[in-house]
């Protein structure tokens, strides 16, 4: 009985991983084909280019994108912190599973799950190269639906 329970848990974990891997590929393909379809507001960059904010709307969810240079001493995992916040009707939703991917100017990609930081989700990436990066997110809401969004950094 215990063996069956362990195998069942393992099978469920593998299925979730497979779904997120498949959905990650789907998100990348969708965003490459139709980047900006859900864009409502233009991206903004502050004067020092050390912080970036942009917003998009997808499936009724407002997604706020934020990128900042990693503070000194916090850059061992990446040169930049990539963060998102997902809200519906003005209320942040923190009970999400979020995966992220960036595609660099050279076409190389990196992918990381995002960790929860209050109302925000964060992952560290290396984005020191010159040029535009495609920032993609895929998130699963409590109703088990998967949503995809993305922006370019810098705009």
Q: What CATH number does the domain containing 64 carry?
A: 2.60.40.3340
Whole-number Å distance between alpha carbons of 44 and 65: 10
Three-state DSSP state, 4:
helix
Specify the number of domains making up the chain: 1
Task: Give the per-residue pLDDT at 132.
Answer: 94
pTM exceeds 0.75, yes or no = no
Range of the domain at 143: 2-153
- As beta bridge partners, residue 116 has 121
Task: Give the per-residue pLDDT at 13.
Answer: 46
Segments in the chain below pLDDT 50: 6-8, 10-23, 25-48
Listed in sequence order, the residues at least 6 apart from 149 whose beta carbon sits closer than 8 Å to its beta carbon are 31, 38, 56, 58, 63, 136, 137
Task: Give the per-residue pLDDT at 14.
Answer: 43
Using left for φ > 0, alpha for ψ between -120 and 50, and beta otherwise, residue 37 falls in alpha
């Amino acid at each position: 009985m215990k063996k069956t329970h362990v195998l069942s848990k393992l099978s469920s974990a593998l299925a979730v991983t497979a779904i997120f891997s498949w959905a990650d590929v789907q998100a990348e393909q969708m965003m490459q084909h139709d980047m900006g379809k859900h864009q409502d507001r233009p991206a903004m960059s502050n004067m020092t280019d050390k912080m970036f904010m942009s917003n998009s709307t997808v499936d009724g969810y407002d997604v706020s994108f934020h990128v900042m240079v990693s503070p000194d001493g916090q850059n061992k995992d990446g040169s930049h912190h990539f963060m998102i916040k997902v809200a519906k009707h003005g209320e942040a939703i923190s009970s999400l599973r979020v995966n992220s991917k960036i595609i660099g100017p050279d076409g190389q990609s990196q992918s990381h799950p995002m960790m929860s930081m209050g109302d925000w989700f964060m992952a560290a990436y290396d984005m020191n190269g010159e040029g535009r990066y495609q920032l993609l997110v895929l998130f699963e809401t409590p109703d088990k639906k998967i949503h995809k969004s993305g922006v370019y950094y810098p705009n």
